[in-house]
Chain A
Amino acid sequence: MTTDEILIKVEDLKMDFGPVKVLKGISTQIKKGEVLVIVGASGSGKSTFLRTLNLLEEPTGGHIFFEGVDITDEKIDINLHRQKMGTVFQQFNLFPHMSILYNMTLGPIKLLKKSKAEAEAEAMELLKRVGLADRAKAYPSQLSGGQKQRVAIVRALAMHPDVMLFDEPTSALDPEMVGEVLDVMKNLAKDGMTMVVVTHEMGFAREVADRVMFICDGVIGEEGTPQEFFASPKNPRLKDFLSKVL
């Protein structure tokens, strides 16, 4: 599904936390429709990279162009661009004081200025797609982890994003619930959504990714198609990493 149109362009991205240099210069391009999977050891900066992409973490150096606009530029309104970048967190982060339906319609109603009826109809449609239409009136605390994460995904989708960012979406789940979330993500990829996915699910990377990226020591240690990446890794650190996770 990858097209030639560049959706996100990252130029020499750097991120320091005080004296700690977490990202030391990352440059890459993400094409429309591409599924980029990011892997790496824990603490290598994968989350930081993902969080800088929508400026949840403000990079200390470099530029990020999203749909042609430099979103690291102080003068742009980052909130408008974030509406187009869906984010799914490891800990779901559903709003516990709102029903599932309201979790999903809050953004569309307040930000996209949709009518309540329209937003709810769209939300119900999305819930149906992930098999949770009957839980619309429930509250997050009444859902299983897998259900929560599926809701978190469709909550992001309700904003009609142009890219979806996933930060270890299955890491907080019981093993038996991982599949249901990955299935939703696979379908999303099939439908042509641009996705950046940090994950330890190598099976998902092999099956769904257009490109796999290994982050190590704050830089891109290696990247390539899943075939190259898993069959013939060149970076010794990547070889070591793969020998541990595969």
Chain B
Amino acid sequence: MSAWLEDFKSEFYLNFIKGDKWLWLVDGLKATLKIAFFAVILGIVIGVLVAVIRSSWDQNGKKLRGGAKFIMRILNFIAKTYLTVIRGTPVVVQLMIMYYVIFASSTNAILIATMAFGINSGAYVAEIFRSGIMSVDKGQFEAGRSLGFNYIQTMWYIVIPQALKNVLPALANEFITLLKETSVAGYVTITDLTRAGDLIRGKTFSAFMPLIAVALIYLVMVVILTWLVGILERKLRTSDH
């Protein structure tokens, strides 16, 4: 038993303390959080936009005329293509294409990764959000329009707040998924949390400690987020307004 403890101690020292390698994990975590946080925001913006385009085409496309119809048809086509491509290819491939092909001339890997993950997440957020918009009673939209609000005002003041409330838990889960998916950022030279653990492993030739530490950090973050989502869900359920 004490031999095992000694072993653990020296492994711990080797992997984290010696040469301040725990700081690698801290820096990696910072990169992971930075990418995840800004990607979430970008994902929401894209997702809401795409969801509004898709659902307004589905609900109102027939009624539009002339130029407005033409523009909406094109926007809807772009949105649909975006959803198909993004959801039909692996995120790590999208990330590498962004970094090595589209932005080959830039070296700001974190920025490019944030965009790649945000664009990826946007597709999933869009579908979540679209179902949220569809779940809002049609009478709400009509009440808004009959007061004299235009289409965008009605969506903004009346439909979207209710849609958002309906999908908050699903959105939160999407963000948890996104946080974990950023672990492939190492493919484009970023030292995120996962890559930091792997670097330690390469240096110390001991796999157990750094990889378990990385796993634990992800797990703690996900458990905390899940717990927050649970609180949120209960809050939403008790207050039905």
Contact = CB atoms under 8 A, between A and B. Distances in A.
B61 to A, nearest CB: 13
What DSSP secondary structure best describes chain B's contact surface? helix
B66 to A, nearest CB: 8
Contacts of B146: 54, 56, 82, 85-87, 156
B149 A111 contact: yes
A113 interface: no
B139 A97 contact: no
A83 B161 CA distance: 22
Contacts of A74: 65
Interface stretch (A5-13, A88-96, A127-135): A88-96
Q: Place the interface of chain B in its size category.
A: 20 to 34
B148 interface: yes
A93 B157 contact: no
Interface string A86-129: 11010101111100000000110011000000000000000000
B80 interface: no
A46 B65 CA distance: 26
B105 to A, nearest CB: 46
Contacts of B145: 56, 79, 82
Contact of A79 (B63, B139, B142, B148): B148
A86 B150 CA distance: 15
Given A79-B145, A89-B139, A159-B148, 15 more contacts: A56-B142, A58-B63, A83-B147, A85-B146, A89-B143, A95-B140, A95-B143, A96-B241, A97-B241, A106-B157, A110-B153, A111-B149, A139-B241, A141-B240, A159-B147
